[in-house]
């Protein structure tokens, strides 16, 4: 699979995802047909380096395919993109981790809640893991799960460490009852005293750092791309793709809608509706340009052997938060002028709006926090170690 193949597959999936979108919401997970389509197309190893049996593609491909998939269903795009992206996490790890996870095939389906809400107790050959983690997107489809825990050793500061467990070693708690992004199935995961071999772990500092162990094992530059910028750019793609789809739906919607309590006035002939369409179009176009510029900056820099400093990443964090913020703004413009029918649960526009409101609640897209962080850095104040950059 090359870049063009991946984009063609994603484009070809849009109508199927749109047809399944209501069922995806009702199921609160992806339909098995959607997972099967992705398996049949061999897309889950999109970002796995070629020396590990993958396609060796990079940020441009995963970002643009996710954006395209979101034209059909934002929940599906979000879930599929993370199940693809988390294989990149493994590729950033040491050889032992790669061999453990990719022993049976050159990819795995790995939900990965990022917050360190578990505890790992060192023991012979590994760790005893206990904890509960939220936001395990796609957990119903996983064969592994990757969780972040704090490990304490005598006389040392606590260390964040990501641990990979087989899916049958954890309990899934059905908590995902939400108004939007319902199809992501982002339930809670619980582990109670599970032993995890050392080979199935990686220090959080190594996974998130600028010199991941996996980068020493291959010449694929994407393995060493910056962790948080890649994560936030990919996760913004469903918002952008959904907003673009909403503009398309609104364009067709007003062509066919006759205004209620009127002598047959067509909405498309109303100046206010024409202005709303244009404003939404301009807003989402601006969001796309900002998002694509950030992607190209990271890709060009790292493919040429350069790097982007931690302080410089404040602007990238701001760019992705802006993309999501403007995507929601564009759809809100549409919803305000679309009448009550878009709030039926089977409305494409209504579903996109619900999904965007929910997606924007993700911690990295909190506008106040992202803008405050970027502004602080621009003013010459050093970011904290805990700032997600």
Residues 278 and 149 in one domain: no
Residues 232 and 373 in one domain: yes
The 10 Å Cβ neighbour count of residue 216 is 11
Please check whether residue 37 is in contact with residue 93, taking contact to mean a CB–CB distance below 8 angstroms. Answer: no
Rounded Cα gap, residues 198 and 192, in angstroms: 17
Rounded Cα gap, residues 280 and 367, in angstroms: 20
Residues 360 and 243 in one domain: yes
> Locate tokens 């981790």: which residue?
97
32-41 and 3-27 are packed helices; what angle lies between their axes, rounded to 10 degrees? 170
Residues 255 and 363 in one domain: yes
The two tokens of residue 160 are: 């964040």
Q: Which residues of the chain have pLDDT under 50?
A: none
Residues 318 and 231 in one domain: yes
φ, ψ for residue 240 (rounded to 5)?
-65, -50
Domain count, the chain: 3
Residues 102 and 124 in one domain: no
Rounded Cα gap, residues 140 and 30, in angstroms: 8
pTM: 0.97
Rounded Cα gap, residues 121 and 69, in angstroms: 41
Residue 262 resides in a domain: yes
CATH of the domain at 145: 2.40.110.10
List the strands of the sheet with 187-197, edge to edge: 171-173, 187-197, 126-136, 116-123, 144-151, 159-166, 201-203
Instruction: Using the 3D structure, point to which of 106, 138, 158 is the last residue of a domain.
Output: 106
Residues 102 and 192 in one domain: no
CATH of the domain at 98: 1.10.540.10
CATH of the domain at 251: 1.20.140.10
Rounded Cα gap, residues 366 and 332, in angstroms: 17
Residue 389 resides in a domain: no
Residues 301 and 237 in one domain: yes
Residue 383 resides in a domain: no
Residue 111 resides in a domain: no
Residues 349 and 245 in one domain: yes
Domain of 70 in residue numbering reads as 3-106
φ, ψ for residue 197 (rounded to 5)?
-60, 150
Instruction: Using the 3D structure, point to which of 106, 139, 173 is the last residue of a domain.
Output: 106
Rounded Cα gap, residues 222 and 254, in angstroms: 43
Residue 219 resides in a domain: no
Residue 195 resides in a domain: yes
Please check whether residue 126 is in contact with residue 194, taking contact to mean a CB–CB distance below 8 angstroms. Answer: no
Residue 183 resides in a domain: yes
Residues 75 and 142 in one domain: no
Residue 385: the pLDDT is 85
Residue 155: the pLDDT is 84
pLDDT tens column, 188-201? 999 999 999 999 99
């Amino acid at each position: 699979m090359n870049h063009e193949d991946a984009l063609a597959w994603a484009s070809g999936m849009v109508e199927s995802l749109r047809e399944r979108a209501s069922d995806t919401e009702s199921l609160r997970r992806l339909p098995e047909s959607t997972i099967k389509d992705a398996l049949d197309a061999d897309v889950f190893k999109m970002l796995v380096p070629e020396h590990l049996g993958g396609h060796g593609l990079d940020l441009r491909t995963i970002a643009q395919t996710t954006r395209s998939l979101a034209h059909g269903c934002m929940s599906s795009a979000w879930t599929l993109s993370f199940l693809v992206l988390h294989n990149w996490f493994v590729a950033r790890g040491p050889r032992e981790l790669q061999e453990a996870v990719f022993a049976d095939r050159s990819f795995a389906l790995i939900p990965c809640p990022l917050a360190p809400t578990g505890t790992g107790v060192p023991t012979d050959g590994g760790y005893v893991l206990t904890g509960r983690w939220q936001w395990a997107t796609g957990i119903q489809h996983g064969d592994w799960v990757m969780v972040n825990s704090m490990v304490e050793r005598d006389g040392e500061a606590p260390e964040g460490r990501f641990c990979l467990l087989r899916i049958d070693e954890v309990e899934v708690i059905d908590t995902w009852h939400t108004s939007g992004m319902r199809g992501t199935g982002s339930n809670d995961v619980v582990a109670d005293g599970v032993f995890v071999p050392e080979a199935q772990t990686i220090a959080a500092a190594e996974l998130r750092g600028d010199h991941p162990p996996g980068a020493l094992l291959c010449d694929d530059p994407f393995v060493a791309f910056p962790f948080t910028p890649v994560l936030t750019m990919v996760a913004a793609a469903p918002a952008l793709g959904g907003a673009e789809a909403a503009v398309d739906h609104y364009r067709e919607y007003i062509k066919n809608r006759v205004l209620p309590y009127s002598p047959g006035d067509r909405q498309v002939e109303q100046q206010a509706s024409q202005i709303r369409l244009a404003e939404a179009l301009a807003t989402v176009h601006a969001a796309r340009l900002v998002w694509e510029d950030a992607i190209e900056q990271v890709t060009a820099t790292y493919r040429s052997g350069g790097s982007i400093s931690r302080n410089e990443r404040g602007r990238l964090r701001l760019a992705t938060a802006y993309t999501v913020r403007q995507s929601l703004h564009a759809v809100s413009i549409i919803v305000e002028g679309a009448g009550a029918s878009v709030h039926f649960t089977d409305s494409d526009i209504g579903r996109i709006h619900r999904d965007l409101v929910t997606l924007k609640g993700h911690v990295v897209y909190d506008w106040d926090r992202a803008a405050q962080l970027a502004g602080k850095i621009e003013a010459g104040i050093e970011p904290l170690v805990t700032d997600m950059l």
